Amino acid sequence: DTRFRASKRTYDRQYAQLYFSRLMLLKDVMHKRVEQLWRGVPVCSILEVQEGKEVAVIGTLYKNMKLKPSILDEYTKDRGLKAALGAANFCADDDSVVMEDDGARMVLSDWGLFLSRHTLPGTPQPRTGLVMAVRGVHEPGGDFFVSAVAFAGLAPNPYAAAALAASRPGDTYLALVSGLGLGGGRADLLATQLAADWLTGNLGSAAEQQLAAQVVRLVVAGGGIGQLEGLAGAAATAPGANPYNRSAQPVRDLDLLLAELAAALPVDVMPGPEDPANVALPQQPMHRCLFPGAASHGSLVRATNPHEFECGGVRVLGSSGQVVDDMAKYCGLRDRLDLMQRTLACRHLAPTAPDTLTCYPFTDDDPFILPATPHVYFAGNQPEFATRLVPVVVRLVAVPCFARTGTLVLLNLRTLACHPVRFDGSLGLGV
């Protein structure tokens, strides 16, 4: 977690530094990758590209999107016709793609055409902020015609050999939950309480209690506090309303719940989109004073988002889901696991930050770069449960929003097998 923690945050810098460090940090990796993939193709900077000669160029991708919301719209556009915010996808067919390195930028021509011909499952989609390499020819007139692309690829996993001792006796489990949504319009308090009781070993038959006993750690991947949907509309339009101000009651409820859980097992709590934490990524741990009850238990870990930790020799990395959700908006892909897999394949957790995802303006570091591939990569607050095992042994888990699905996820730390556990709190009242 340390790399996601910022002790003293000052907002004096712009974002250029972050992009610059990202490019510099990934440049060597890309260089090696290009040499390995496209033997004999010279790598050069954009400024050195000569017309008609096939070269490889490493740089940061930037996608010009017309539909992308901009704060300038508040001033220039017809205020009566504000584009529907929160639309799921801002892609349009005529989005153009440029690549930029530390010297210049160039337009990649016919990018859409290229993609439609070459997209293979598993290759990352172009996204603003992605560091990658393209191979192609500079056409007379200024555009660069792409014939192939390359990404950084999975980072090595230094823990692989030591940790995954499948021979270890006994199954232990890591429990993942997200989107409890306390105080929110969808919160399902009964299901939440059922889940808590089961985790603390107070529910179910002996077999079920046995399983619960094998859960060695619980991660609450954001979304502890829910959005008040009914209120959101009116409050947001009222002049001067701050959408980030909210009532204290759900936080107290969350404190009680966490205290109950932390008494029984180690609990990591990560901040999510609606939680009382700052919004800029990486989100800092929720403050101690918010959890006067739970914080007294030493077993409560107030974690950052993204959160990286080791559990029973397994390296786990996860986010509360904003990075995946944001990427879904800005590239044509819907499948969350695909998105997650691509994130790993380009060695960057949050390429769309800071362009469309608020993040802290780091100066000489980019904590979202993955120096190593974890064993488990999860994302919270996803629409539904999904999992996939990617060769080189990475378990991808889309942890669904609990308030919507009543599902928590158990991950076998020995086999990396993964399955959902469903709690249904409905009393059939509404039926």
Partner 1 sequence: GPPAKRQATGPDPDDMDFIEDDPSGPPEPLEDVELGEAGRNWVRPPVADFDPASTAIVFQQLEVDYYLAEPRAGVDTVPVEVKQVPVLRLFGVNAAGNSVCALVHGFEPYFLIERRPHWGADHIQALGLALNVGQELLGKAKGVGGPAVTRIEPAERRSIWNFQPPGTSTAFLKIVVSVPNLVAPARGLLEGGMSLSAVNDFVKCTTYESNVLFTLRFMVDCKVVGGNWVELPAGAYQLETARPMTHCQIEAHIRYDKLISHAPDGEYSSVAPLRIMSIDIECCGRKGCFPEAKIDPVIQIASMVSVSGKMDGPVVKNIMTLGSCASIVGAEVMSFNDEAEMLLRWRDLLVESDPDIIIGYNILNFDLPYLYERADALKIGKKFQVWGRVRGSHTRMRDGQFSSKAYGTHEYKDITIEGRVQFDLLTAIQRDHKLSSYSLNSVSAHFLGEQKEDVHHSAIADLQAGNEETRRRLAVYCLKDAYLPQRLLDKLMYTYNYIEMARVTGVPLSYLLTRGQSIKVFSQLLRKAAAKGFVIPNIKVQGPVAGADGVGYEGATVLDPKIGFYDRPVATLDFASLYPSIMMAHNLCYTTLLTKDQLNIVPPEDREQSPSGDWFVRNSRQRGLLPEILEELLAARKRAKNDLKAEKDPFKRAVLDGRQLALKVSANSVYGFTGATVGKMPCLAISASTTSYGREMIMTTRQLVQEHYTRANGYETDCEVIYGDTDSVMVNFKVADVARAMELGREAAAVVSKAFPPPVKLEFEKVYYPYLLMNKKRYAGLLWTRPETHDKMDSKGIETVRRDNCLLVRNVVTTCLERILIGKDVQGAVGYVKGVIADLLMNKIDLSLLVISKGLTQDADEYEGKIAHVELAKKMRKRDPATAPAVGDRVPYVIIKAAKGAKAWEKAEDPIYALEHSLPIDVQHYLEHHLSQPLLRIFEPVMKNPKELLCGDHTRCIAVSTPSTAAGGIMRFAKVTMSCLACKAPLPSGCKDSLCGHCKPQEAEIYSRTLGTVSELEAQYGALWTACQRCQGSLHMDVLCTSRDCPIFYRRKKVQKDLNEAMGQLDRFDATSW
Residues forming contacts to partner 1 in the complex (CB under 8 A) are: 8-12, 14-17, 19-20, 23, 46-47, 49, 60, 62, 70-72, 74-76, 79-80, 100-106, 129, 141-142, 238-240, 242-246, 248, 251-252, 276-280, 287-290, 292, 354-359, 361
Collapsing DSSP to helix, strand or coil, 362 comes out as coil
Q: Which is nearer to partner 1, 14 or 415 (CB)?
A: 14
Q: How far is the CB of 76 from partner 1 (least distance, A)?
A: 7
Q: How far is the CB of 119 from partner 1 (least distance, A)?
A: 24
Q: Which is nearer to partner 1, 72 or 427 (CB)?
A: 72
User: In this structure, what token pair is assigned to residue 222?
Assistant: 């954001």
Decide: 174 and 219 in contact? Cβ < 8 Å: yes
Give me the residue label for tokens 């859960």. Answer: 215
Q: Which is nearer to partner 1, 255 or 268 (CB)?
A: 255
Q: How far is the CB of 79 from partner 1 (least distance, A)?
A: 7
Q: Which is nearer to partner 1, 290 or 349 (CB)?
A: 290
Alpha carbons 5 and 202: distance in angstroms, whole number: 35
Q: How far is the CB of 280 from partner 1 (least distance, A)?
A: 4
Alpha carbons 405 and 22: distance in angstroms, whole number: 37
User: DSSP assignment of 281-341, as one string?
Assistant: BSBPPPPGGG-TTGGGSTTEEE--BSEEEEETTEEEEEE-SHHHHHHHHHSS---HHHHHH
Q: Which is nearer to partner 1, 138 or 315 (CB)?
A: 138
Q: Which is nearer to partner 1, 319 or 387 (CB)?
A: 319
User: In this structure, what token pair is assigned to residue 29?
Assistant: 């990796």
Decide: 51 and 140 in contact? Cβ < 8 Å: yes
Alpha carbons 250 and 310: distance in angstroms, whole number: 30
Q: How far is the CB of 371 from partner 1 (least distance, A)?
A: 22
Q: How far is the CB of 265 from partner 1 (least distance, A)?
A: 24
